[in-house]
Amino acid sequence: MNNEIERRRTFAIISHPDAGKTTLTEKFLLFGGQIQVAGAVKSNKIRKTATSDWMDIEKQRGISVSTSVMEFDYEGYKVNILDTPGHQDFAEDTYRTLTAVDSAIIVVDSAKGVEAQTRKLMNVCRMRNTPVIIFINKMDREGRDPFDILDELEQELEIKVRPLSWPINQGAKFKGVYNIYENKLDLFTPDKQRVTEKVEVDVNSAELDACVGDTDAAKLRDDLELVDGVYPEFDVEAYRKAEVAPVFFGSALNNFGVQELLNCFVEIAPSPKPTKAEERMVSPEESKFTGFIFKITANIDPNHRSCIAFCKICSGKFVRNQPYYLVRQGKTMRFSSPTQFMAQRKSTIDEAYPGDIVGLPDNGIFKIGDTLTEGEKLHFRGLPSFSPEMFKYIENDDPMKSKQLNKGIDQLMDEGVAQMFVNQFNGRKIIGTVGQLQFEVIQYRLENEYNAKCRWEPVHLYKACWVEADDAAELEAFKKRKYQYMAKDKDGRDVFLADSGYVLQMAQQDFENIRFHFTSEF
Ligand code: G4P
């Protein structure tokens, strides 16, 4: 059992759209032998250029089922890559997926540097102390000076960095990367689709000059000296404590620097860590199975209202057909066909270990955040809802179908598609999302899966934040004063709907003893 836990690496590759997440994922699968030719795993993103159409949404949902988790064996390690949606409007899904990983790889475009989404994702990693490795991609394009990029990473992402590979030139003259971690240079022939033979070269030998030319060889030696002078030696423990982020350079598209990254990743990335439950810490080595649901994906086939709930195993061994306890409902369940995912295939499994993700067939029983155990009443924490950025009133557009509509809304919210707040003043339902596309998905799915029609009406809101106070009377006084702005979330908690930054600021000033939270977990 300990051996199985030790060899597991469960992580997510995250990036601002277009930095190269999909390409890098694919190259990992290539090295892992899951696919033979890159380009086989279809892009899981909605094209950012075209305005989204329904086909794209369907494709996104369909493909995200088959590629939600990709696992492969590599050098004795069992690698589980958790896929995150490419489109920014599904960022919430990405945040949630980050709760199920033990580490992350952040891909950054060498020319664009740190972008808005990179910053947000890093904040989520920081909240959870998730160790990150940074991959600076697209070195084959004219980008910025590597030292400048490293400075920007430190400043913008607020984390110390330590380069573990170094580019030989960039742009059209990019020749590959020197592997600082292993102190060697592997030169590959660029190949977009296959893994090519590599030649190992000693950095201090004349062979280097012969391979990359005198000028580049001299520059590389100088750069490496400077790197060693500027950055302290790499400390694995500091990385695992999320205090320092190792940085790799390369070009995912051309297969440069990818294997260096993967080899180092499996060696240094943490194996499954203890998970915090409300009641206690749960260690992966415990004999009894525990796990939590972090993602639910509706099946693309509207004739079968079946979903797949993704369960991250936190401790013990998961065994098919064993009775497990769904804590929220106090119900015992057996799973006869739990699935495991491999690139585009999925297969039924008999057992799985901490760090693994199993897909459980679900016909509407699970909610995001549900805990499964062998009987213990545990509640895993760590699935925060983030304060949404866009708001609309949702209204029934077909009075004959109000039951269907309500059921649909409830289930979609349980799936975590968006958040719903009920205004306590007028009773109207407000849907909060992080992007326009989520509204389209909700409307489309309500119609197709629940046979219900909805209509959106504008509501002018700036932020929804959760409020609490130590003194119940003070909270009541606040709610009374702000009664038009008060709402309840799906768990019945108090939410303050501020219609402008000014209103929020004033409320924070006037009510010093009220705490305003921008994530649901506090
Ligand atoms: P994402 O998942 O992070 O959104 O990015 P994705 O991998 O889809 O990459 C975005 C674009 O960047 C793609 O081009 C991809 O081919 C390109 N790209 C990825 N890695 C590299 C690299 O190392 N060098 C260069 N020059 N380009 C790279 P696209 O035109 O948007 O898509 P496609 O038509 O090529 O698939």
Residues 374-428: pLDDT tens digits? 999 999 976 677 778 899 999 999 989 999 999 999 888 888 888 999 999 999 9
33 is in an annotated binding site: no
The separation between the first and the last C-alpha atoms of the chain, rounded to the nearest angstrom, is 34
Q: Which of 15, 23, 43, 175 to mutate for ligand 1's pocket (most ligand atoms within 8 Å of CB)?
A: 23
84 is in an annotated binding site: yes
pLDDT for 469 equals 94
**Distance from C-alpha of 157 to C-alpha of 245, rounded to nearest angstrom:** 10
Q: Helix, strand or coil for residue 490?
A: coil
Give the distance from CA 337 to its chain's centroid. 26
pLDDT for 282 equals 96
Strands 307-315 and 290-298: antiparallel
Q: Is the CB of 141 under 6 A from ligand 1?
A: yes
45 is in an annotated binding site: no
- Paired tokens of 209: 């000059």
Q: Report residue 202's pLDDT band, with 50, 70 and 90 as the boundaries.
A: confident
Q: Report residue 297's pLDDT band, with 50, 70 and 90 as the boundaries.
A: confident
Q: Is the ipTM of this complex over 0.95?
A: yes
More confident residue, 292 or 173: 292
Q: Is the CB of 112 under 6 A from ligand 1?
A: no
CA-to-CA separations, 242 to 103, 126, 183, 376, in angstroms, rounded: 9, 8, 24, 31
* Residue written as token pair 């389209």: 440
Q: Is the CB of 21 under 6 A from ligand 1?
A: yes
140 is in an annotated binding site: yes
Q: Is the CB of 16 under 6 A from ligand 1?
A: no
Report the predicted TM-score, pTM, of the whole model to 2 decimal places.
Answer: 0.85
pLDDT for 515 equals 94
Dist. CA 335 → ligand 1 center (Å):
39
Number of helices (H) and strands (E) in the chain: give both, helices first.
14, 31
The residue nearest atom 26 of ligand 1, judged by CA position, is 138
137 is in an annotated binding site: yes
| Average pLDDT value for the chain | 86
- Stretch 299-316: mean pLDDT, rounded? 77
CA-to-CA separations, 408 to 109, 133, 379, in angstroms, rounded: 39, 39, 26
User: Could you report the per-residue pLDDT of 315-367, keeping only the tens digit for each?
Assistant: 999 999 999 999 999 999 999 988 886 555 667 889 999 999 999 988 778 88
Listed range (297-306, 416-425, 501-510) with the worst mean pLDDT: 297-306
49 is in an annotated binding site: no
Q: Is the CB of 373 under 6 A from ligand 1?
A: no
pLDDT for residue 46 is more than 60:
no
Dist. CA 20 → ligand 1 center (Å):
5
Q: Report residue 48's pLDDT band, with 50, 70 and 90 as the boundaries.
A: very low
Are the C-beta atoms of residues 475 and 494 closer than 8 Å to each other? yes
CA-to-CA separations, 113 to 12, 118, 125, 134, 244, in angstroms, rounded: 20, 9, 18, 11, 18
pLDDT for 54 equals 46
What ligand 1 atom has the least distance to the C-alpha of 44? 2
pLDDT for 47 equals 43
List, in sequence order, every residue forming a beta bridge with 238; answer none if it has no partner. none
118 is in an annotated binding site: no
- Paired tokens of 53: 């159409």
Listed range (13-27, 101-115, 173-187, 298-312) with the worst mean pLDDT: 298-312
Q: Which of 16, 18, 117 to mutate for ligand 1's pocket (most ligand atoms within 8 Å of CB)?
A: 18
- Paired tokens of 442: 């909700």
The residue nearest atom 9 of ligand 1, judged by CA position, is 20
139 is in an annotated binding site: yes
Nearest to 64 by CA among 35, 97, 38, 31: 97
Nearest to 256 by CA among 163, 132, 145, 139: 139
* Residue written as token pair 């269907």: 404
The residue nearest atom 11 of ligand 1, judged by CA position, is 18
pLDDT for 51 equals 40
DSSP type of residue 468: E
Dist. CA 14 → ligand 1 center (Å):
14
Dist. CA 251 → ligand 1 center (Å):
10
What ligand 1 atom has the least distance to the C-alpha of 252? 23
pLDDT for 72 equals 87
Q: Crossing angle, helix 146-157 and helix 214-230, to 10 degrees?
A: 30
Q: Is the CB of 251 under 6 A from ligand 1?
A: yes
